[in-house]
Every structure is written in structure tokens, then in C-alpha cells.
């Protein structure tokens, strides 16, 4: 209670007061930004996508950086964090089993779940046996308090000493950064389960919220994450703001990350299509939709599903042929034919998707007219 009460209070009072009387320069704001990124990406890429979900494997040097950044974020050690998070995914929205269930309200899922009586003698790490074998995670767990003090106090103090203003760096890089980095993470447990769109599944309360992704390093695409939790990406489109995905992918080019897991595109498209179909069907129960549009919807849905299956088969064949390094002329011709077939199927899928979206717009217009 003291930690979560005093740090925001100090951030609200001392940070602006010091800024008013003494001011902050560019170096001190860069310390704040750098430590925000250090903490935030260590949580999203390290604690979350690497350790909790095993969506990729990290080099020991990278795991060490993530372990230090996680301690700096002061969100518990990686073993506690990952254990709670795996429990959250397994029992999402079950109030008695989900550690930070959104079903218990905004306050509880955001921060209230942390303010409870912990029985350190009854820690249940049975769901993170793989992480317990990680020497770096184990080292961080055993030295967590020391690492917290070094990264939250000693690090900004040293950076301030080098610049000539220890207090400014402690206020910005220490207190303000700590409060903001913590609450940025907590919005995923609260806001991302309450406001947004259920694009791929309504099996849980998780939502896709592009605005939230802007401040959470890409974690705002939360409905996708809960539907395909082993994917190292949260934002799958090129325009989706997901710096964590970009960081992981960039590190793979220099060997710091490997075995990056991606969900098959056909599964993603099928899940999206199923949700759109279900949402359209629900409209029929409450609106006076003409029978001809109902029939057309069902026909287009079945045709879309079949085309997705064919597209996926063609895509797999093309990828397998492209990977085979066969030099014979016949094999080259086979690859060219498969490439052409894949392109044709991809175009057909694009046309089908356009027709589907036009049909959904027609349904919405019909419902509005009926209303």
C-alpha cells in the first residue's frame, strides 16, 4: 500500500515542483524515455512473450537484459510474473482462479489484485517448470530485491551524477518512470479486457484496442493475443503499432532471438471470418433482415470457408516447394506452376473478402433502414 500510494504522490508533487523551480533538460528527459523503454520492452518482450508464452527463444545476453529491465519495472520477478500470467490465460475471466480477472471490476484487474496478502510459504510454481530451469530467471528470482535497488535507485543516480543533477534523474528516471511504466502494464489487465473490439474470438473478455497499443508497446491487440497466445506478434498487420514485435524480429537478424512462432494465416482468417459471421447472425435476432440477405450470408460464409481451405493448401505446397533446393528443370517448372497457382488463389481470396465485406455493409444498411 505504501509503495503504490507514495510513488504516485511523489510523482504528482515533487516532479512538477522540481521542474518549476529548477527545470529539466533534454538529457534528463532522455534518461526518463530510455528507462521507460528499458522497463517496458523487458516486460512485453521478455516477461510476457518470451518467458510466459515461449513465443521465441532469446540469447542468454538478451535474457539477462530482460531480467534487469524487469527488475527495474518493479512488477515482481519473472517467475512470479509468468506464473500469474499463465494462470490468467488458463482461467481467464474466472473470478476465483484468474489472478486479475476483469470480471471483478476495473480497480481489481488494474491494481487491486496486487494489494492482497501473499503467503510466501505457499508459492505455486508448478506451471513454470521450464522457467525454473533457466539460470538467468533463477538468478533474478534469488537476487530480486538487490536488482530492484540497483536499477531503480543506483542507475538513475549514476546517470544523474554523470550529468551533474542526481535529483532530476532520480525524479524522472526513478519515480515518474516507475509509476508510469507500472500503470502502462496494468492497463492491459484492465482496459484491454473492457474496451475494444473482439476481432477473433468472444471466448474471453479480451479486446483489441489500437489506441492502447500506442502506449503499451503493441500489447493493445489483446483479443488476438488471447486467441493466438503463442504468436510472438500481437499486431499482425504491417500498419499495426507493435514495437515489441519489431524488436524481436530485428534481434533475430543478429542471432539474439530465434524460433519465432507465427500463427498460420489461414487460422487467423478463419477466426476473423467466424466472428464476423456470428456478429451478423446476432443482428438477425434483433433486426428485420430480408430472407434473401440471410441466405446470401450463409452461402458466402460457406464459400469463404472453402476458399480459405484451398488457399491454405496451395500456400503450404508453394512454401514447401520454395524451400526445397532442387536444381532439376522439372522441379523448377513445378515451383513456377505452384507459384502461379498460389497467386491465383490469393487473388481469388482477395475478391471473396471484398464481396464478404460488401455483404456485411449491406446487412448493416438493411438493419438501419428497418429500424
What are the beta bridge partners of residue 208? 197, 221
Euclidean distance between the first and final Cα of the chain, in Å?
Answer: 51
- What is the spatial distance between Cα 355 and Cα 309, in angstroms, rounded to a whole number? 18
- What is the spatial distance between Cα 347 and Cα 351, in angstroms, rounded to a whole number? 6
Q: Is the pLDDT of residue 163 over 90?
A: yes
- What is the spatial distance between Cα 138 and Cα 130, in angstroms, rounded to a whole number? 11
- What is the spatial distance between Cα 169 and Cα 157, in angstroms, rounded to a whole number? 6
What is the per-residue pLDDT across 208-266, written as a single tens digit (0 to 9) for each? 999 999 999 999 999 999 999 999 999 999 999 999 999 999 999 999 999 999 998 88
Q: Is the pLDDT of residue 164 over 60?
A: yes
3-state secondary structure of 213: helix
Lowest mean pLDDT among 56-70, 76-90, 127-141, 274-288: 274-288
3-state secondary structure of 157: helix
Burial label for 37, CB within 10 Å (0-12, 13-18, 19+), is: middle
Is 283 within 8 Å of 367 (Cβ atoms)?
Answer: yes
pLDDT value of residue 276: 77
Which helix H or strand E contains 142, and what residues bound it?
A: helix 135-142
Is 114 within 8 Å of 4 (Cβ atoms)?
Answer: yes
- What is the spatial distance between Cα 173 and Cα 156, in angstroms, rounded to a whole number? 6
Q: Within 257-290, where are the H helices? A: 265-286
For residue 259, is it left (φ>0), alpha (ψ between -120 and 50) or beta? Answer: left
Chain centroid to Cα 260, Å, comes to 14
338 vs 201: which has the higher pLDDT: 201
Length of the chain: 371
What are the beta bridge partners of residue 257? 58
- What is the spatial distance between Cα 348 and Cα 356, in angstroms, rounded to a whole number? 12
- What is the spatial distance between Cα 176 and Cα 32, in angstroms, rounded to a whole number? 8
Q: Is the pLDDT of residue 118 over 70?
A: no
CA distances from 145 to 71, 77, 153, 253 (A): 8, 9, 12, 34
113: cell is 489484485
pLDDT band at 327 (very low <50, low <70, confident <90, very high): very low
Q: Is the pLDDT of residue 49 over 80?
A: yes
Give the global pTM. Answer: 0.83
Q: Can you point out the beta strands (E) in the chain? A: 57-58, 257-258
Q: Is the pLDDT of residue 333 over 60?
A: no
Across the range 49-58, mean pLDDT stands at 97
pLDDT value of residue 312: 67
CB burial string 58-83: b at 16+ within 10 A, e below: beeebbebbbbbbbbbbbbbbbbbbb
Q: Domain coordinates of the chain in residue numbers?
A: 2-198+213-258, 265-370
Amino acid at each position: 500500500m505504501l509503495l503504490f500510494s507514495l510513488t504516485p504522490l511523489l510523482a504528482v508533487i515533487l516532479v512538477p515542483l522540481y521542474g518549476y523551480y529548477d527545470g529539466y533538460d533534454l538529457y534528463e528527459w532522455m534518461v526518463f524515455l530510455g528507462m521507460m523503454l528499458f522497463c517496458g520492452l523487458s516486460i512485453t518482450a521478455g516477461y510476457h512473450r518470451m518467458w510466459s508464452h515461449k513465443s521465441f527463444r532469446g540469447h542468454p545476453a538478451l535474457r539477462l537484459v530482460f531480467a534487469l529491465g524487469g527488475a527495474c519495472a518493479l512488477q515482481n520477478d519473472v517467475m512470479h510474473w509468468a506464473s500469474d500470467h499463465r494462470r490468467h490465460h488458463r482461467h481467464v475471466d474466472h473470478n476465483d482462479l484468474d489472478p486479475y480477472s476483469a470480471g471483478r471490476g476495473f480497480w481489481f484487474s488494474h491494481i487491486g489484485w496486487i494489494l492482497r496478502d501473499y503467503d510466501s510459504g505457499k508459492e505455486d510454481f508448478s506451471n513454470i517448470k521450464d522457467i525454473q530451469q533457466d539460470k538467468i530467471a533463477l538468478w533474478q528470482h534469488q537476487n530480486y530485491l538487490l536488482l530492484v535497488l540497483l536499477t531503480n535507485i543506483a542507475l538513475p543516480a549514476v546517470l544523474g551524477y554523470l550529468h551533474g543533477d542526481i535529483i532530476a534523474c532520480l525524479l524522472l528516471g526513478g519515480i515518474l518512470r516507475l509509476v508510469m511504466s507500472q500503470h502502462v502494464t496494468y492497463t492491459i489487465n484492465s482496459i484491454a479486457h473492457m474496451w475494444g473490439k473482439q476481432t477473433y474470438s468472444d471466448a474471453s473478455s479480451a479486446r483489441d484496442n489500437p489506441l492502447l497499443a500506442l502506449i503499451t508497446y503493441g500489447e493493445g491487440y489483446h483479443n488476438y493475443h488471447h486467441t493466438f497466445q503463442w504468436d510472438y506478434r500481437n499486431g499482425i498487420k504491417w500498419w499495426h503499432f507493435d514495437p515489441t514485435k519489431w524488436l524481436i524480429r530485428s534481434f533475430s537478424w543478429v542471432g539474439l532471438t530465434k524460433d519465432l512462432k507465427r500463427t498460420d494465416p489461414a487460422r487467423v482468417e478463419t477466426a476473423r471470418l467466424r466472428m464476423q459471421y456470428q456478429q451478423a447472425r446476432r443482428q438477425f435476432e434483433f433486426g428485420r433482415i430480408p430472407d434473401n440477405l440471410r441466405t446470401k450470408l450463409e452461402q458466402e460464409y460457406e464459400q469463404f470457408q472453402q476458399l480459405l481451405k484451398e488457399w491454405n493448401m496451395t500456400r503450404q505446397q508453394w512454401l514447401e516447394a520454395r524451400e526445397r533446393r532442387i536444381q532439376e528443370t522439372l522441379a523448377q517448372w513445378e515451383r513456377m506452376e505452384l507459384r502461379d497457382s498460389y497467386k491465383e488463389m490469393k487473388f481469388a481470396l482477395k475478391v471473396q473478402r471484398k464481396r464478404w465485406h460488401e455483404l456485411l455493409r449491406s446487412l448493416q444498411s438493411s438493419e438501419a433502414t428497418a429500424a
